[in-house]
Chains A and B, each alone.
Chain A
Amino acid sequence: GDSVTQMEGPVTLSEEAFLTINCTYTATGYPSLFWYVQYPGEGLQLLLKATKADDKGSNKGFEATYRKETTSFHLEKGSVQVSDSAVYFCALVGGSGANSKLTFGKGITLSVRP
């Protein structure tokens, strides 16, 4: 079945550091890919998405490119802020029709120090 693998965490960075969070997936066909973020005490929010190969999703300074050849969707940000401290989830929607569902990776906690 479909699966999403994220790098092990947690990750701690200093403010203004460069961020990369790795995500790879296994799915049949052409899934849509997503990054969701969960701030402390809140529900998940969609951060960005990409629906086909080579698409780049971007939002709030974060970017991720849908790489079909490497089945990856790595999240990057050039300069992180303390307010980016949260749990980040990579996810995909695969399957078709009634079998379609959102499959999440295990999530990774990011802490940004001032």
Chain B
Amino acid sequence: KAGVTQTPRYLIKTRGQQVTLSCSPISGHRSVSWYQQTPGQGLQFLFEYFSETQRNKGNFPGRFSGRQFSNSRSEMNVSTLELGDSALYLCASSMDRVTAGELFFGEGSRLTVL
């Protein structure tokens, strides 16, 4: 069974640009959640999507957005990039809502903002 796939794995952007990251969950999983991982703040929850609807959102500015498609694939977008947005962005999928806690993570997309 294929795991969670995130693309691209690495990318470099400059301040003010925008970026779109993609996540393909494990087949049959309906929930996709996103996390930002940085050395200083650790893992922080961005948002969760289930059946194409955003179910929960973390404390991030509106520049961070996402969506989920009918095949459960998800994208997240960050507009007007800032230096502080440099991080590893992790996507996780699960059969049901994240409430069950058993998430399967991708290897992440490492974003560097110059």
A76-114, CB < 8 A from B:
89, 91, 93, 98-107
Query: Does the CB pair A98–B55 fall under 8 Å?
Result: yes
Contacts of B101 in A (CB 8 A): 32, 34, 49, 91, 93, 102
A93 contacts B99, CB within 8 Å? yes
A: number of interface residues (CB 8 Å): 22
Closest 7 pairs between A and B when the two form their complex, measured CB to CB: A43-B105, A106-B42, A104-B43, A100-B99, A44-B105, A93-B101, A43-B107
Closest to A107 in B: B42
Contact present for A43 and B98 (CB under 8 Å):
no
CB of B97 closer than 8 Å to a CB of A: yes
- Residue pair A107, B43 in contact (C-beta under 8 Å): yes
Not counting A34-B101, A99-B56, a sample of 12 additional A-B residue pairs whose C-beta atoms are within 8 angstroms of each other reads A34-B102, A43-B4, A43-B107, A44-B90, A91-B101, A98-B56, A101-B45, A102-B33, A102-B98, A104-B43, A106-B42, A107-B42
Q: Does B75 contact A (CB under 8 A)?
A: no
Nearest CB of B to A101, in Å: 5
Q: Interface size for chain B: under 10, 10 to 19, 20 to 34, or 35 or more residues?
A: 20 to 34
Give the secondary structure class of A's interface. strand
A93–B33 Cα distance when bound, in Å, is 13
CB of B42 within 8 A of CB of A104, answer: yes
A33-58: CB near B (< 8 Å → 1, else 0) gives 01000000111111001000000000
Contact present for B90 and A100 (CB under 8 Å): no
**A100 to B77 Cα, complex, angstroms:** 23
Is B58 interfacial (CB 8 A cutoff)? yes
Give CA–CA (A32, B98) in the complex, Å: 11
Whether A45 and B105, one on each chain, are in contact in the complex, defined by CB atoms closer than 8 angstroms, is yes
